[in-house]
Amino acid sequence: MSFRANQSMQLDHIFRALSDATRRAIVMRLCEGEASVGELAKPFEMALPNLMKHIGLLASSGLVTSEKNGRVRTCSLQTEAN
């Protein structure tokens, strides 16, 4: 696969991730600093498993990272290019 085709696929993943208002709100919140999944869930009326799907999609697109420490999963914006 050419570099250009690979870049295009990466952009497709990013734009797909940002096409949803909930995911955009998560990214905007993470612009302020890292947050636990519980903190990210507060503004939304959805079950945590559904929110985790959104976070998973953001992570697979390379926009967000998450780390589990004990029972708390903390999310932050990905600051380094993959």
CATH number of residue 18's parent domain: 1.10.10.10
Report residue 7 as tokens: 């870049």
Do the Cβ atoms of 17 and 63 come closer than 8 Å?
Answer: yes
If you search the block for the tokens 């697109």, which residue do you land on?
61
Quote the CA–CA distance of 82 and 80 in Å, as a whole number: 6
Q: Is residue 41 situated within a structural domain?
A: yes
Q: What is the pLDDT of residue 81?
A: 62
Answer for the pair 45, 10: CB distance below 8 angstroms, yes or no: no
**Is residue 54 assigned to a domain?**
yes
Q: Look up residue 80 and give its DSSP letter.
A: S
Domain with 21, as residue range(s), is: 3-77
pLDDT of 65 over the 90 cut: yes
What does the pLDDT look like over 12-50, one tens digit per residue? 999 999 999 999 999 999 999 999 999 999 998 888 999
- Number of domains the chain is built from: 1
